[in-house]
Amino acid sequence: MICICFCTLLSKYPITSHKSPQQFLVFFLKHSPFEILFSTSHELPTLSSLMDFSFSIHPFIITLAKNKVHIPLTLFTLHSTKKLHTETTSLKQNTVYNSSGTICHILNLSQFPEEHKMDSIDWHEAWQCYMVFQESHCDSEVVSRWKDHYLFLSAHDDFQLHFPAILLFDVAK
């Protein structure tokens, strides 16, 4: 169908009648029998943003970071984020001394899945949320380095096949 339309237009209006192949292509698309079905001119303005439907980074995660406690990637999955925000009062906390000798209360991480048991879907999901956390709480050099790390791992050939090794490398302590 496209070929027939193109050949018909080409016979009536040769490419030489246009200044460039790009102009001919624009002319062809405007005069082809195909109808534009999707266009931004048909869209309605959004009533809300994506942020209206998501949880922010929970203060317990900020507390872990401030006290220099390893934050497992599993805390950034949507399941864990929802748990942090909806079950805050029932989550166990540990009383510990931080590196400066001050007593603090931090989240007991045993209530959340272990990093090395993540599947690839949770891993990608967690990384997206982790990058949002980093953009708010890390300098640009750190953000860039972690983003490059994620992109390097996620762009690996046969990602799904090699995911166990990628995960092992990613969560190594």
Contacts 24+ apart (CB under 8 A), 25-32: 32/2, 32/5, 32/6
pTM of this structure: 0.67
Question: Which residues of the chain, if any, have pLDDT below 50?
Answer: 1-3, 50-53
Give the pLDDT score at 54. Answer: 65
Q: Shortest CA distance to 62 belongs to which of 116, 111, 104, 3?
A: 104
Kindly report, residue by residue over 144-170, the tens digit of the pLDDT: 999 999 999 999 899 999 999 999 999
Give the pLDDT score at 11. Answer: 58
